[in-house]
């Protein structure tokens, strides 16, 4: 921990880990939150591929790191290095928030609560009994699936290119009569949905799947966990398909960051001013954390 020469307050060290991570808005978001409380904060973006993540995290801890956010593709790997997992991280099998403790890293997952707060409080959606399609079964999908179920959605269909990953997520969620894993190739046989959530990074990799228009209706809400350019292909499909609500992941990003901030600093930041500021520059944003 270092000391800011302009203040007697210690500078608290945090970071976001991912690969790639240079695009991340997390440093900006947490800087805005810290200013609300006069907290001296050093929040960096640290690029670490999966094979180097453990070493990079150990170096960060040795240099005084107190907590970290975890983004693609490290969320499930991060869960494996924690000495303790919160209930929501355990249910997800993925971690996006690390808290340094005397015994090692504690892991939490704030993605789900961030998504639900954005959809219900900012966008005013009632998620109860919505027949839901979740596209993807990686760390992002794992983070939001338990929260969607807790929010009262109806049946949840999980589709993924690799069916085994969809099966694994469904097994983790543990509600076989309500959660249905399927292959992505079979999505055209599933009927239409009231809520469609894209939790893949396919658009960033220029591999966004072709989705049938029959999935959406005029009552459908389509949500992409990415934002900016990465959300364009899915939200463009949703517009043509006639979905009533088309929402990107910027609000979720801000809300999950606020939850992480509160875990670290025990203070709840105001999110609306930060969201509005970032939304003004949304055309330059690249992808989700």
| Same domain as 102, residue 149 | no
Higher-confidence position of 227 and 2: 227
Q: pLDDT tens-digit profile of 115-124?
A: 999 999 999 9
Residue-wise pLDDT for 6-29, tens only, equals 456 799 999 999 999 998 999 999
131 annotated ligand-binding residue: no
Instruction: Supply the pLDDT for residue 206.
Output: 58
**H-run or E-run covering 114:** helix 111-117
Residue 134 is given by DSSP the state E
Q: Does 188 show up as a binding residue in the annotation?
A: no
Check pLDDT > 70 for residue 209.
yes
Helix (H) or strand (E) holding 188: none
User: Total domain count for the chain?
Assistant: 2
The sign of the dihedral angle between the CA atoms of 246, 248, 252, 254 is negative
79 and 157 share a domain?
Answer: no
Express each pLDDT in 255-288 by its tens digit: 999 999 999 999 999 999 999 999 987 544 433 4
* Same domain, yes or no: 51 and 101: yes
For the chain, give the percent of residues with pLDDT over 70. Answer: 92
CATH code of residue 152: 3.40.50.720
Identify whether residues 172 and 220 lie together within a single domain.
yes
Read off the pLDDT band of 183 (50, 70, 90). Answer: very high
Angle value at C-alpha 197, between 224 and 232, nearest 5 degrees? 25
Whether residues 117 and 105 share a domain: the answer is no
pLDDT at residue 203, rounded to an integer: 53
pTM: 0.92
Q: Which one from 23, 32, 75, 246 is the annotated catalytic residue?
A: 75
Is the distance from CB of 163 to CB of 137 less than 8 angstroms?
Answer: no
Q: How far apart are CA 90 and CA 85, in angstroms?
A: 6
Average model confidence (pLDDT) across the chain: 92
Range of the domain at 44: 2-109
pLDDT band at 38 (very low <50, low <70, confident <90, very high): very high
Does residue 146 form part of some domain?
Answer: yes
Reply yes or no on whether 75 is catalytic: yes
CA within 13 Å, CB half, 152: 6
Residues 104 and 210 in one domain: no
237 and 117 co-located in one domain: yes
* Residues 11, 45 share a domain: yes
Q: Are residues 105 and 221 in the same domain?
A: no
Final residue in a domain of this structure, among 79, 109, 139: 109
Please check whether residues 105 and 217 belong to one and the same domain: no
Give the pLDDT confidence of 53-104 residue by residue, as tens digits. Answer: 999 999 999 999 999 999 989 999 999 999 999 999 999 999 999 999 999 9
Distance separating alpha carbons of residues 195 and 148, to the nearest angstrom? 10
Q: Is 160 annotated as a binding residue?
A: yes
pLDDT of residue 282: 57
Q: What pLDDT does residue 136 have?
A: 95
Within a domain: 279: no
Token pair, residue 121, equals: 């409080």
DSSP 66-125: -EEEE-TT-HHHHHHT-SEE-HHHHHHT--SEEEEETTEEEEE--HHHHHHHIIIIIS--
Nearest to 86 by CA among 19, 147, 43, 168: 147
Question: Could you give the maximum distance between any two Cα atoms of the chain, in Å?
Answer: 63
Identify whether 214 is part of a domain. yes
CATH of the domain at 25: 3.40.50.10860
- Whether residue 116 sits in one domain with residue 8: no
Q: What is the mean pLDDT of residues 222-243?
A: 95
Domain termination site, one of 87, 109, 131: 109
Span between the terminal Cα atoms of the chain, in Å: 26
Q: 123 and 45: one domain?
A: no
Q: Residue 162, annotated ligand binder?
A: yes
């Amino acid at each position: 921990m270092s000391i800011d020469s302009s203040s007697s307050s210690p500078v608290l060290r945090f970071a976001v880990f991912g690969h790639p991570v240079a695009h991340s808005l997390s440093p900006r978001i947490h800087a805005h939150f810290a200013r609300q409380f006069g907290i001296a904060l050093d929040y960096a973006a640290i690029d670490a591929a999966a094979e180097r993540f453990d070493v990079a995290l150990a170096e960060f801890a040795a240099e005084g790191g107190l907590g970290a956010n975890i983004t693609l593709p490290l969320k499930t790997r991060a869960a494996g290095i924690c000495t303790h997992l919160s209930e929501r991280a355990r249910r997800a099998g993925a971690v996006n928030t690390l808290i340094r403790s005397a015994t090692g890293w504690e892991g939490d997952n704030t993605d789900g609560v961030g998504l639900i707060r954005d959809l219900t409080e900012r966008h005013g959606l009632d998620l109860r009994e919505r027949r839901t399609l979740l596209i993807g079964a990686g760390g992002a999908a794992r983070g939001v699936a338990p929260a969607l179920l807790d929010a009262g959605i109806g049946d949840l269909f999980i589709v993924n290119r690799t069916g085994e990953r969809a099966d694994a997520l469904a097994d983790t969620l543990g509600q076989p009569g309500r959660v249905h894993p399927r292959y992505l190739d079979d999505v055209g046989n599933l009927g239409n949905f009231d809520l469609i959530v894209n939790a893949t990074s396919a658009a960033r990799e220029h591999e966004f799947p072709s989705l049938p228009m029959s999935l959406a209706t005029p009552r459908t809400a389509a949500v992409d966990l990415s934002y900016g350019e990465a959300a364009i292909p899915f939200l463009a499909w949703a517009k043509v398909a006639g979905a009533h609500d088309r929402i990107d992941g910027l609000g979720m990003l801000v809300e999950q960051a606020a939850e992480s901030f509160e875990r670290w600093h025990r203070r709840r930041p105001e999110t609306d001013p930060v969201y509005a500021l970032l939304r003004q520059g949304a055309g330059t944003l690249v992808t989700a954390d």
